[in-house]
Amino acid sequence: MLHKFTPGAIWPDTSGVHINAHGGGLLYHDKTYYWFGEHKIEGRAGNKAMVGVHCYASLDLYNWEDMGIALPVSDDPDSDITRGCVLERPKVITNAATGRFVMWFHLELKGQGYTAARSGVAVSDSVTGPYTFVGSFRPNAGVWPDNVSPDERHVPDPAVVQGEFSGGPRDVVDRLNILGRDFAGGQMARDMTLFVDDDGQAYHLYASEENSTLQISLLTEDYLAPAGTYVRAFPKRHMEAPAICKRQGRYYFIGSDCTGWAPNAARSAVADSVWGPWTELGNPCVGEDSEITFGGQSTYILPVAGKDDAYIAMFDIWRPENAVDGRYLWLPMRFNDGRFELHSVPEWDLSTFG
Ligand code: GAL
């Protein structure tokens, strides 16, 4: 039995195998925590989805039982989630009205690099799955965000836009109206998370517009699609790896800069509404290696059940050369004076929350 967290170390499941649930998120259901994440295989090949979304269950957050693959990749070459696609950052939420479990993830179609930038949705009547793939799309096609001015609501001449931008130099996003370019076909959606508010409204937060701007989008009541209301947040800040929580009526955000698998300085922000406006609070990490987030990149914030004011920030330490060896960095969030700090510690346990 494990009785503590050891950030960055091998984390054996109850069978002694290093947990394989990267870019993950947690769901608390029926007094049990469920951890969903990307199953990775050895080597660089592990950066593609060769198996699917892995699920683990725990009663105490330290000891995790392998519940198997919740959403397997498909053997059908025509499926959007065929083996060899890129399927990242899966998150699962429960819909109180339908009683169903809904999974969203970032999907890149096989053989197309990171150009598809789609959202995938899967659903299950059982928390551990198997989940049924519903479909994939670019969200909010044909809809303008609520917070753009009328003069930003224009579709550029496609001939000008095509080929000029490939996700490269950042100054290009200043010259091109990427939001408008993608108006008809739907907005790009890469790194993402889901958030369910106290009123049951669910939101999809995703890196959009060639990763330059985050978008925050309301989901339909069944959580299976965008409801058609969204905003742009952190425009041109190249914010990815979004994670969010609600504490004492305010919303707190952790994200990162865009440097691929290499770690960079985390960002944090606060808002009085999910829709914003968001106020950036800087890098919440303190101490040695804080400028590279202790080697990690954010993926989720967990409010600890049954504990007052207890939030765990979850990060991945990516190992792109041997993807399966990626590590997990879970740290307690220390709130103080309207912001929070993260300190790297070799080990800790839930008693830190008192
Ligand atoms: C990161 C992103 C990861 C993955 C990676 C691929 O920036 O957060 O989820 O997409 O890029 O290089």
**Ligand 1: which of 48, 53, 297, 298 to mutate, most ligand atoms within 8 Å of CB?**
297
Q: What is the dihedral of CA 114, 228, 172, 181, to 10 degrees?
A: 90
In this predicted model, what pLDDT tens digit does every residue of 287-307 receive, in sequence order?
Answer: 999 999 999 999 999 999 999
Map residue 134 onto helix, strand or coil.
Answer: strand
Distance spanning both ends of the chain, measured CA to CA:
22
Task: pLDDT band for 157, please (50, 70, 90 cuts).
Answer: confident
Which is nearest to 275 in space by CA: 146, 139, 95?
146
pLDDT of residue 77 exceeding 60, the answer is: yes
pLDDT of residue 170 exceeding 70, the answer is: no
pLDDT of residue 168 exceeding 60, the answer is: no
Q: What is the dihedral of CA 224, 58, 198, 209, to 10 degrees?
A: -50
In this predicted model, what pLDDT tens digit does every residue of 273-283 receive, in sequence order?
Answer: 999 999 999 99
Task: pLDDT band for 354, please (50, 70, 90 cuts).
Answer: confident
CA of 149 to the centre of ligand 1 (A): 31
- The model's pTM is 0.97
Tokens 């939001």 sit on residue: 179
pLDDT of residue 161 exceeding 80, the answer is: no
Mean pLDDT (whole number) for 321-346: 97
The number of residues making up the chain comes to: 354
Mean pLDDT (whole number) for 154-182: 73
pLDDT of residue 316: 98
Burial class (CB in 10 A: 0-12, 13-18, 19+), 158: exposed
Mean pLDDT (whole number) for 190-195: 98
Mean pLDDT (whole number) for 318-342: 97
**Ligand 1: which of 191, 193, 239, 314 to mutate, most ligand atoms within 8 Å of CB?**
191
What does the DSSP assignment read for 179-234? HHHTTTT-----SEEEEE-TTS-EEEEEEETTTTEEEEEEEPTTSSSEEEEEEEES
CA of 30 to the centre of ligand 1 (A): 32
CA of 130 to the centre of ligand 1 (A): 26
Task: pLDDT band for 198, please (50, 70, 90 cuts).
Answer: very high
- Architecture (CATH level 2) of domain 20-137: 5 Propeller (2.115)
Q: What is the mean pLDDT of the chain?
A: 95
Could you tell me the CA-to-CA distances from 286 to 90, 142, 289 in Å, in that order? 28, 43, 8
pLDDT of residue 302: 98
By alpha-carbon position, which residue is closest to atom 5 of ligand 1? 260
CA of 170 to the centre of ligand 1 (A): 17
CA of 99 to the centre of ligand 1 (A): 32
By alpha-carbon position, which residue is closest to atom 12 of ligand 1? 260
By alpha-carbon position, which residue is closest to atom 8 of ligand 1? 241
Task: pLDDT band for 158, please (50, 70, 90 cuts).
Answer: confident
Burial class (CB in 10 A: 0-12, 13-18, 19+), 164: exposed
pLDDT of residue 165 exceeding 60, the answer is: no
